[in-house]
Amino acid sequence: MNGLLRTGGTGGGEAWREVSVSLGSDAEVSGRLSFSGATRIEGRLKGEVRSANLLVVGPQAVVRATVHAGVLVVLGRIYGNVVEAERVEIRPGGLIVGDITTRALVVAEGGTFEGNCRMFGQAPAESLAL
């Protein structure tokens, strides 16, 4: 678990240890959830989830929701759109089926992404004349 989150030199490599809210594997929640601190989901969630900070979707989690997160780390399954995340990491065994809007997307070997991705906050690449 030591390498769960690497945020490209921003000092967040151990941020997963600071998770303050956790929904256990036996939890089943439906509705709108909002968190200001780092959060880990291990159970089932349906609806909408917002985390201004780190959101970890654990290996046993099944999330059927629109997800808003500062940094999203996916080890389980998300069926739904990820909206305006600063960073999305899909780890081995992780799955996102839906569209992603993010500044940075990392799909590790063994991770799966099915959908469209729109990057924001970067200057568009210049066209190359052929």
**Contacts with 21 (C-beta within 8 Å, 6 or more apart), sequence order:** 35, 37, 38, 39, 40
Expressed as residue numbers, the domain containing 80 is 15-119
Q: Mean pLDDT over residues 37-58, rounded?
A: 93
Q: Between residues 89 and 130, which one has the greater pLDDT?
A: 89
Is residue 95 in some structural domain? yes
Which of 49, 62, 48 is CA-nearest to residue 95?
62
Give the whole-angstrom CA distance, residue 86 versus residue 60. Answer: 24
Q: Between residues 88 and 120, which one has the greater pLDDT?
A: 88
Is residue 3 in some structural domain? no
The domain total for the chain is 1
pLDDT tens per residue, range 24-47: 777 788 889 998 888 999 999 999
Give the whole-angstrom CA distance, residue 92 versus residue 69. Answer: 20
pTM of the complete model: 0.79
Over pLDDT 90: what percentage of the chain? 64
For 81, the token pair is 């759109």
